[in-house]
């Protein structure tokens, strides 16, 4: 080896060593940058990586009846959740196998969850049985991105009580609601109808937050710092309703197999004691996981069981409107209790308006008792002649017709209470005449109201003219113990004179003692006052109405019953209402023949002279 070579070799090695030291310094510099200079950047990153904020679902508020009987509570259901970002699609066969469903379904649901959010956890399967849930729990380590959750569904402890249109059902929030409101998470349920919807914000409570340690697969490894920074969920508020469970059970029983709606309320407070729409749907089958066959069925049923006839149907009130008509006549000074007109069997005004009541002399009391059309055609004629239809509208409106009753239920109808503007819009200015207005006087024509509105009108006559707000919830108790009362004060309807109202009440009493209500509504136990009605139905059999309150002097209950296509109210709706009154006042039913009659009721169509 030459000297030159040796020198070169040594130099080469020196250069190598130098390069190594330089590159070593580069790495050192990089480490210094990452670990010392950028520590503040990476330290929170690693903490966020390992910590996940989770929501704890609050327990939804309970619903009680007027006596403290629990109507709605919660029952645990078991769910499987997914965090799409951590999920491994190749685990789909295993997951499908453990759940006992097809791979296609799992894939479909995973896709849906992914469409909602890649990072947020959403429910994959809800309401799986406890055994399957346990199997998933045991195998969760094999299933990155899959989690489990115990939630609750609505449970109805009173057997056979439906009250489906009152209580309402919950459905998972739609994508729109989810995107709109920060409050909801995918898979959360929200009230869609009834009290569940109306009081959603009180019932749902507030989410709690817990911080859990997770690994890169999204698996939950337990609480962080033993829950020191967790926040407990706030339980939803409980609703105390005015509902009378016994009465509601009877009402549902009586309405079974019929179509129509009924409302019973407390004339002193407006608290709804019972409310039924028939047919109704099975509220238990809409709680928890949706039974899609059943959902399909009730949505396509021509009888539309999802429709709340009691609060939303619009039918002409027929003769049940006559007591209010009479009251308006008295108050406007057109008649007094002795004003008598002759009924030849029709009312003649351009043409003959038919009257089924016997010909003879009629004052207001007798006109109500016998439901004479002639008297009320005449009275309506006088009102629009001396005043105007708008004055008539104003007075009727103050009793709750043609406008919302402000009941605490969604989708309430306002009904129709025509005024000149309405008729102008509908028929054209100047083209409507006395005929269109006269029929309003007997509750026909364009007039339309719901059973809820008619119950309210009747209750307000019964209580001597005090305006009510019908309602279901009388108090809300928050989870912290504070109770908030929602009852509103009743106020006297300003134009009503109590002497006049007694005349009307007297007439309504006579309906039951000697008029068309005498067959089924005249109770020995309590003095009932009422009015039958028949709503003309151009599409088929007429609808039967009956409204009543009892006892006459200081009523404790007011009822309105509408039975669709059942013909005369006196034989269809009246027995239903009277059974409710009897049950409510006496606590039992002493007329089994009436009960059996109602249960076996088939609409009859023969002429009834009293109508």
5 binds other proteins (CB under 8 A): yes
Which residues in 394-453 contact other proteins (CB under 8 A)?
A: none
Inter-residue contact 191 to 200 (CB < 8 Å): yes
36 binds other proteins (CB under 8 A): yes
Binding-site member from 43, 115, 180, 497 for other proteins (CB under 8 A): 43
- Rounded to a whole number of angstroms, the minimum distance from the CB of residue 86 to other proteins is 10
Applying CB under 8 A, which part among 12-20, 66-74, 187-195, 409-417 lies near other proteins? 12-20
49 binds other proteins (CB under 8 A): yes
Binding-site member from 53, 85, 225, 586 for other proteins (CB under 8 A): 85
- Rounded to a whole number of angstroms, the minimum distance from the CB of residue 39 to other proteins is 5
In 89-207, at which residue ranges do the beta strands (DSSP E only) sit?
122-128, 146-155, 170-172, 189-191
3 state SS of 209: strand
Q: Cβ closer to other proteins: 84 or 400?
A: 84
User: Using N-to-C axis directions, what is the helix angle for 498-513 and 322-331, rounded to 10°?
Assistant: 150
Q: Both tokens of residue 8?
A: 């070169």
User: Using N-to-C axis directions, what is the helix angle for 389-398 and 373-386, rounded to 10°?
Assistant: 110
Q: Cβ closer to other proteins: 38 or 390?
A: 38
8 binds other proteins (CB under 8 A): yes
Could you check whether the bond before residue 123 is cis, i.e. omega within 30 degrees of 0?
Answer: no
Inter-residue contact 566 to 544 (CB < 8 Å): yes
Applying CB under 8 A, which part among 47-55, 259-267, 510-518, 566-574 lies near other proteins? 47-55
- Rounded to a whole number of angstroms, the minimum distance from the CB of residue 213 to other proteins is 7
Q: Cβ closer to other proteins: 54 or 241?
A: 54
- Rounded to a whole number of angstroms, the minimum distance from the CB of residue 107 to other proteins is 20
Applying CB under 8 A, which part among 19-27, 88-96, 472-480, 580-588 lies near other proteins? 19-27
502 CB neighbour count, 10 Å cutoff: 14
Applying CB under 8 A, which part among 21-29, 60-68, 350-358, 520-528 lies near other proteins? 21-29
550, 577, 552: which is closest to 562 by C-alpha? 577
CA distances (Å), origin 461, targets 223, 297, 493: 62, 41, 10
Number of residues that bind other proteins (CB under 8 A): 43
Q: Which residues of 74-96 are buried (b: 16+ CB within 10 A; e: fewer)?
A: beebbbbbbbbebbeeebbebbb
42 binds other proteins (CB under 8 A): yes
39 binds other proteins (CB under 8 A): yes
What are 78's strand-pairing partners?
128, 150
254, 252, 261: which is closest to 451 by C-alpha? 261
29 membership: H or E segment, kind and range: helix 3-32
Which residues in 208-237 contact other proteins (CB under 8 A)?
A: 213-217, 219, 221
Q: Both tokens of residue 471?
A: 């309602």
10 binds other proteins (CB under 8 A): yes
* CB proximity list for 542: less than 8 A, separation 6 or greater: 534, 535, 536, 565, 567, 568
3 state SS of 511: helix
Inter-residue contact 363 to 337 (CB < 8 Å): yes
Stretch 172-211: interaction string toward other proteins, x if CB under 8 A: ----------------------------------------
Q: Cβ closer to other proteins: 12 or 181?
A: 12
3 state SS of 184: coil
In 156-191, at which residue ranges do the beta strands (DSSP E only) sit?
170-172, 189-191
Q: Cβ closer to other proteins: 8 or 385?
A: 8
26 binds other proteins (CB under 8 A): yes
Stretch 467-496: interaction string toward other proteins, x if CB under 8 A: ------------------------------
User: Phi first, then psi: what are they for 352, rounded to 5°?
Assistant: -95, 130
50 binds other proteins (CB under 8 A): yes
Q: Cβ closer to other proteins: 24 or 227?
A: 24
CA angle, 340 then 510 then 386, to 5° = 35
- Rounded to a whole number of angstroms, the minimum distance from the CB of residue 217 to other proteins is 7
Q: List for the chain the helix, strand, coil content (%; round to 5).
A: 40, 20, 40
Binding-site member from 20, 104, 150, 179 for other proteins (CB under 8 A): 20
134 binds other proteins (CB under 8 A): no
- Rounded to a whole number of angstroms, the minimum distance from the CB of residue 215 to other proteins is 4
Inter-residue contact 340 to 362 (CB < 8 Å): yes
183, 179, 171, 192: which is closest to 116 by C-alpha? 179
396 CB neighbour count, 10 Å cutoff: 24
Q: Cβ closer to other proteins: 28 or 104?
A: 28
Q: What is the DSSP letter of 62?
A: P
Applying CB under 8 A, which part among 15-23, 89-97, 127-135, 588-596 lies near other proteins? 15-23
9 binds other proteins (CB under 8 A): yes
Binding-site member from 16, 294, 342, 485 for other proteins (CB under 8 A): 16
53 binds other proteins (CB under 8 A): no
Give the footprint of other proteins on this chain (CB under 8 A): 1, 5, 8-10, 12-17, 20-21, 23-24, 26-28, 30-32, 34-36, 38-39, 41-43, 45-47, 49-50, 85, 141, 213-217, 219, 221
């Amino acid at each position: 080896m030459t000297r030159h070579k040796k020198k070169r070799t040594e130099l080469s090695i020196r250069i190598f060593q130098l390069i190594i030291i330089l590159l070593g310094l580069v790495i050192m510099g990089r480490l210094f940058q990452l670990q010392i200079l950028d520590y503040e950047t990476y330290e929170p990153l690693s903490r966020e990586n390992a910590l996940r904020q989770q929501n704890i679902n609050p327990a939804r508020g309970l619903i009680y009846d007027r006596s403290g009987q629990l109507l709605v509570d919660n029952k645990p259901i078991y769910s499987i959740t997914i965090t799409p970002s951590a999920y491994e699609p190749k685990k789909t066969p295993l997951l499908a196998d453990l759940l006992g469903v097809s791979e296609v379904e799992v894939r479909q649901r995973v896709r849906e969850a992914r469409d909602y959010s890649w990072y947020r956890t959403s429910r994959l399967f809800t309401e799986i049985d406890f055994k399957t849930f346990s199997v998933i729990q045991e195998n969760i380590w094999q299933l990155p991105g899959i989690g489990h959750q115990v939630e609750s569904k609505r449970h109805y402890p009173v057997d056979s009580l439906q009250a489906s249109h009152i209580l309402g059902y919950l459905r998972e929030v739609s994508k729109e609601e989810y995107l709109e409101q920060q409050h909801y998470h995918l898979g959360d349920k929200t009230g869609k109808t009834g009290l569940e919807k109306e009081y959603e914000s009180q019932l749902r409570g507030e989410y709690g937050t817990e911080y859990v340690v997770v690994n890169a697969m999204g698996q939950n490894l337990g609480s962080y710092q033993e829950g020191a920074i967790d926040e407990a969920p706030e339980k939803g508020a409980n609703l105390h309703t005015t509902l009378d469970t016994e009465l509601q059970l009877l009402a549902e029983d009586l309405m079974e197999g019929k179509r129509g709606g009924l409302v019973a309320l407390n004339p002193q407070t407006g608290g709804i004691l019972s409310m039924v729409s028939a047919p109704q749907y099975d509220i238990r089958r809409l709680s928890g996981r949706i039974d899609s066959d059943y959902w399909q069925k009730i949505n396509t049923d021509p009888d539309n069981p999802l429709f709340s006839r009691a609060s939303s149907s619009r039918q002409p009130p027929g003769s049940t409107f006559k007591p209010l008509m009479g009251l308006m006549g008295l108050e406007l000074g057109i008649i007094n209790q002795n004003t008598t007109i002759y009924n030849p069997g029709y009312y003649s005004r351009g043409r003959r308006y038919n009257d089924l009541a016997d010909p003879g002399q009629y004052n207001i009391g007798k006109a109500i008792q016998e439901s004479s059309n002639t008297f009320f055609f005449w009275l309506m004629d006088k009102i629009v002649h001396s005043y105007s239809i708008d004055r008539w509208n104003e007075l009727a409106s103050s009793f709750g017709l043609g406008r919302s009753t402000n009941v605490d239920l969604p989708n309430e109808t306002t009904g129709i209470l025509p005024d000149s503007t309405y008729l102008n819009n509908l028929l054209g200015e100047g083209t409507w005449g006395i005929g269109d207005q006269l029929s309003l006087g007997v509750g026909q024509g364009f007039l339309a109201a719901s059973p809820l509105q008619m119950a309210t009108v009747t209750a307000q006559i019964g209580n001597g003219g005090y305006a009510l707000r019908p309602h279901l919830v009388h108090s809300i108790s928050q989870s912290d113990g504070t109770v908030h009362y929602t009852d509103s004060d009743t106020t006297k309807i300003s134009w009503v004179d109590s002497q006049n109202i007694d005349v009307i009440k007297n007439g309504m009493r006579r309906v039951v003692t000697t008029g068309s209500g005498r067959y089924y509504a005249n109770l020995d136990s309590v003095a009932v006052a009422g009015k039958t009605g028949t709503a003309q139905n151009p599409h088929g059999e007429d609808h039967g109405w009956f409204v009543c309150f009892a006892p006459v002097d200081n009523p404790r209950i007011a009822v309105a019953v509408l039975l669709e296509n059942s013909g005369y109210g006196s034989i269809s709706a009246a027995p239903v209402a009277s059974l409710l009154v009897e049950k409510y006042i006496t606590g039992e039913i002493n007329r089994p023949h009436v009960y059996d009659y109602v249960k076996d009721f088939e609409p009859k169509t023969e002429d009834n002279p009293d109508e």
